[in-house]
Chains A and B, each alone.
Chain A
Amino acid sequence: MIAIRRPATLCAVLIVGLAAWEILALWRVHADAPEPSEWQTAQSVVRKGFHKGDLIVFAPAWIDPIGRAYLGDLMALEDVARNDAGRYGRIWEVSTRGASAPETRGLAAVEDADAGAVRVRRFERAAPRAVWSTNDRARLLEVAFAPHLCVLLPPSRDAEHPGRLDLGTVPLGTELRAWGGLADFRARKENWAAAVVRVLVDDKEGARASVANDDGWVALPPVATTAEAHHVVVEAWVDPERGDPARARLDLCVAAEARTP
């Protein structure tokens, strides 16, 4: 064991060092918070290059209300409550504290502007376009604590007679995507079960997934389709193999979107 010759002196130095670090660290946190002028600068960068249909995302996600206070008029509900970012070819990422958004992961920025504590980056990529979606019949709900435009589909207790959402015969592209999640934190609190969601295209199963409280907004496997009209149905029932089916309170909400390159 190493004997410390001056333990009290060492401790005193450590205390003073820790005190200085704690004060400076918290002062830095305060000083690093973006000023309104920096948000204004960031806003003007985005406005200057913004095209209709661009996606704006904020990182970290919790700065979203501040970002929308400056740029909310450029953002459409369909974009904020999107199913995913797959169909956006141009993405503006407005960030603080060195954060980056999951929507821009793996992409290279084509524009990068520093506005003090706020950073604006623009990303571009080839992206499919949506040719059809459930948005016209959807409502805005909280799913996984995020906004989603989706259609409520009560699952049945019996897989033989599932809850059924007939979306009709609709024009599809090369890929049909579907999502599902459990809406409303109060309903999830009362729910101990999961729902099976199944997508049928022309009466054939295209994809299925199981959705429970903590699964979030679940993307079903993509269904390859041909670019013509098809009959699309989404079905749901209580998953007999997960959780406690007897205590189901499943406010299942689903969405679907057809995409083509």
Chain B
Amino acid sequence: MITTRDKLFALFLVVATTAITVAAAPRQGINRDEAYYMIAGEQYVAYWEKVLSGDLPRPFSDASIARFWEYNHEHPPLMKLLYGLAWRFLHTCECAAEREWHPPPARLDAGRHVTLGAFEWESTAFRLPTMVCFGLLAAAVYLFFLEALGARFPSVAARAGALAASLLAVAQPRAFFHAQTAGFDLPAAALWFLATWLYWRALERRTWRSAMGLGLVFGLFLATKLQSFFLPLALGAHWLWLLARRRRPTLRPIVAMALVGPATVFALWPWLWHDTWRRLGAYVGFHLHHVHYNFEYLGKNWNRPPYPWHEPLGMLVTTAPVILLALAAAGAAIMAPGGLRARPTVEDRSTGLLLFLSGFVPMAPFFFGSTPIFGETKHWLATMPVLALAAGVAVAAIAERLPDELGRGGAGARLAAAAALVLAAALPAAYETWRSHPYGLSHYNALAGGAPGGADLGMNRQFWGYSPAGLLPWIDATMPSNGQLYLHDWNHDAYVMYLRDGRLRRDIRDPGLEEPAIRASDVALVVHEKHFNKYEYMIWDAFHTLRPAQVLTLDGVPLVTAYRREGPK
């Protein structure tokens, strides 16, 4: 079903999606987590550079490894290493002259890195691997649709469905936000989807080669983020279902995941090469006992369980493009057993069930009410490509029948109908994504009433402290010489990255945290989240004013408020 033209088109989707995301990324602020991952990436790539150049004595000793890899060992290394590699090859900096802004193990004593200098800002170079993952996700959704679902439809309708699915997988404000970060959530979603696809293929091909491909991708996923631990639940449940239905599923994919997966993560993560079990236990333990952050949902600030079971559904319904939700519901009805348009099964792999499990399991832990919900939608981003596939099924089904109903069955009419449907499906989602940028985490959909509707509903305004980037020009223009800027939720490492990028005046200083920092500052920021209100009151008290100097908004909703000290400290 997949032709060479399809593969070329998929390649175009990779390039176009990546290019659009690269072009958009500089407007989006650096969030708390990605600042840590950028530092980690720089250290990790410095390790390999020193190992390969012979500059590191006893490179595989615990001491040498720990010097570079102990930092941020609570998360697996793959994406951080890729961020480091992208930065190492593509950045532009005066790294020796600015050595105090770089992590100590990676500092240059003299000279500068030899690079391709593709990006003016170091942060964009760091972020590139996630953007490529986003492009790969778009292509994977397109190709998977054709391979797994396209046979149900005529050629043009199938491609309309595949393209709609692909576009709807990426034209989502929150997915687009995460695609521009040096964070793990979008890559994790892409790897979840890719592993599901390879598992589905391996069931049919029944070869060790295809199973090993799955094992390798699962290993890359294990080396990316903890969500990988849940993938075997989805695939395992599906495999057992096939077994119970006497479909005689091959065991090879399961074996490959069990063997190649852990071996891959071990090979990629030097931190585990010494004291392996203890460090692995510490990694898992960190997440099992993860701190519960604050999260506003339906007017209440939640920071400890029990959480409302419906929170993931509430966030899904108010943040995903409405057109995606509606089409996905229609597509699911079409695909469901005994659905509106049930067809004889063309294969025996229970593809619909696999997609259901692949979409449901990422969200499932949040229905129990005990899992921290600090990441709002990001921890189940892998659900979204599955919804997009279901939406694609709806588009394909309509595209198949529409020309006949209109009495225009010619090839041109079929193409025109398919194109119009894809446009109608993708345009609102794309518009919504464009409008939300660069504040995707503050976006709420038309059902919620946009960002103001989200604020009315008492939904999480934002998190990760990335939005102050919208005030950088004002800060540069306002701050006194060598002034102190209270960063609030914008963290120190992100501040350093803005200095490195040259986006923040280099004489501006960070006075630190909490009330002493506010009292020492000349300009103080408060990033609006419900639980952060107290910081605004501290600023009133320290600055003796209730009047902000600047308020950054999205569609009239305050995101960041800045105060300028008028009197003496």
Contact = CB atoms under 8 A, between A and B. Distances in A.
**A is bound by B:** yes
Q: How large is the interface on B (under 10, 10 to 19, 20 to 34, 35 or more residues)?
A: 35 or more
Contacts of A80: 540, 546
A33 B534 contact: no
Interface in A1-55: 6-9, 11-12, 15-16, 18-19, 21-23, 25-27, 29-30, 32-34
Interface string B398-438: 10111011100000000001001100110110011001000
Contact of B401 (A7, A18, A65): A7
Nearest to B417: A12
Interface in A153-183: none
B327 interface: yes
B427 A8 contact: no
B405 A6 contact: yes
Interface stretch (A126-134, A137-145, A194-202, A224-232): A137-145
A96 B556 contact: yes
A101 interface: no
Given A9-B406, A26-B446, A72 B323 contact: no
A19 B401 contact: no
Given A6-B405, A72-B547, A77-B546, A185 B556 contact: no
Interface string B424-462: 110110011001000000000110011111011000000
Contact of A62 (B321, B405, B427, B558): B558
A113 interface: no
B301 interface: yes
A66 B545 contact: no
B548 interface: yes
Q: Is the interface of B mostly helix, strand, loop or mixed?
A: helix
A15 B424 contact: yes
Interface stretch (B28-36, B472-480, B525-533): B525-533
B528 A65 contact: yes
A21 B417 CA distance: 20
Interface residues of A, number: 49
Nearest to B429: A22
A114 interface: no
Given A63-B558, A185-B294, A142 B534 contact: yes
A18 B427 CA distance: 11
Nearest to A70: B547
A242 interface: no
Contacts of B326: 15, 18
Nearest to B321: A22
B546 A72 contact: yes
B547 A63 contact: no
A142 B303 contact: no
Given A25-B446, A185-B303, A15 B327 contact: yes
9 contacts: A12-B420, A15-B398, A26-B428, A32-B452, A33-B555, A34-B556, A65-B558, A68-B548, A142-B537
- Nearest first, the 7 closest Cβ-Cβ pairs linking A and B are A72-B547, A29-B450, A33-B556, A142-B534, A8-B401, A22-B428, A25-B446
Interface of B: 292, 294, 300-301, 303-304, 321-323, 326-327, 330, 394, 397-398, 400-402, 404-406, 417, 420-421, 424-425, 427-428, 431-432, 435, 445-446, 449-453, 455-456, 528, 530-531, 533-534, 536-537, 540-541, 545-551, 553, 555-558, 561
